[in-house]
Amino acid sequence: MDPVLQPKLTDRLDWLVDWLYPPRCRACGGRIYGRDAEYLCSGCWPQIRLVSHPLCNVCGRPFFDASGDDHHCAACLARQPYFVRARAWGCYPKDDRVEHPLRQVVQKFKYGRKVSLGKPLGRLMAQGCQEFLKGCHVDLIVPVPLHPKRLRWRGFNQSLLLARQVSRLYEVPVDPFVLCRERETVPQTQLAEDERRKNVRGAFATYPGKLLKGRSVLLVDDVYTSGATANECSRVLVRGGAREVYVLTLARTV
């Protein structure tokens, strides 16, 4: 087939499939019509607030009510994290009572065991954080691990599925066997910030024989809330020999 004509034929076939079987919104399940939004419907997409400047130049917390340059937030000034910088694609309110499309889709992915959401959500995260990722220059991508008991229940590690999309788009290897979760912890969702740090302290370790010395690592997780998990994983990676650690998440709470 003529390579010049092939993309046009593919576009026509895609249009026909979408017309016959309109894709569903990953958040609310409603039909998606047109090409304005690839994964979310016209009702959910405007509710997604993307992380943008100005923001904390360490943890990536957005300052939505401010203007000017990026600067350290109060939390990072008070306690310097082990990672160099963190960034998330979008954000949603911390309050669980507030319904939000991004929270809904993350919960479907994790607790509803919707493995199929890994690819579109990973692409959104990787494509939406290009500026951050191109400035990292990392050698290795490491997903935040699950405890074996949690992994057996869920059947997959959501952070690994997200990390694989970043790996494919930026051609950086991903290794799910760098970090392990040695101790099972209670869910972080209902804990205060100090309790979160205590909860994950000592919960992670590096696998024996992993060569991290001098390597720059991108740590990938689904949600950044207090940063306790990301910071503890970064601490373990740095003590394991990593030169520096960057953190990328699909979402963060604000």
Containing structural domain, residue 66:
48-253
Report the C-alpha gap between 20 and 169 in whole angstroms. 30
Domain count, the chain: 2
Question: What is the enclosing helix (H) or strand (E) of 143?
Answer: strand 140-143
pTM of the model: 0.88
| Residue 172 sits in the same domain as residue 199 | yes
* Residue at which a domain ends, from 44, 60, 75: 44
Per-residue burial over 98-124, b = 16 or more CB atoms within 10 Å of its CB, e = otherwise? eebbbbbbbebbbeeebeebbebbbbb
* 87 and 201 inside one domain: yes
Residues 101 and 207 in one domain: yes
Same domain for 71 and 5, yes or no, is no
For the residues of 64-76, what is the DSSP string, one character each? TT--SS----HHH
The CA distance from 97 to 101, in Å, is 13
Do 2 and 65 share a structural domain? no
| pLDDT score for 6 | 43
- The answer to whether residues 80 and 165 belong to one domain is yes
CATH code, domain with 109: 3.40.50.2020
Count of alpha carbons within 13 angstroms of residue 121, beta-carbon side = 34
CA angle 193, 198, 203 (to 5 degrees): 125
Q: Are residues 37 and 114 in the same domain?
A: no
Phi, psi of 194 (to 5 degrees): -65, -35
> Residue-wise pLDDT tens for the chain (254 aa)?
333 334 455 556 555 655 566 678 889 888 887 654 678 888 999 999 999 999 999 999 999 988 899 999 999 999 999 999 999 999 999 888 888 999 999 999 999 989 999 999 999 999 999 999 999 999 999 999 999 999 999 999 999 999 999 999 999 999 999 999 998 887 777 777 788 888 899 999 999 888 899 999 999 999 999 999 999 999 999 999 999 999 999 999 99
**Parallel, antiparallel, or unpaired for β 179-181 and 204-206?**
antiparallel
Contact 91, 125 (CB under 8 A): no
Same domain, 24 and 107: no
Judgement on whether residues 249 and 188 belong to the same structural domain of the protein = yes
Q: What are phi and psi of 55, to 5 degrees?
A: -150, 170
Whole-number pLDDT of residue 4? 38
Asked if residue 144 and residue 36 are part of one domain, the reply reads: no
Same domain, 158 and 60: yes
Note the pLDDT of residue 2: 36
Is residue 94 domain-shared with residue 200, that is, in the same domain?
Answer: yes
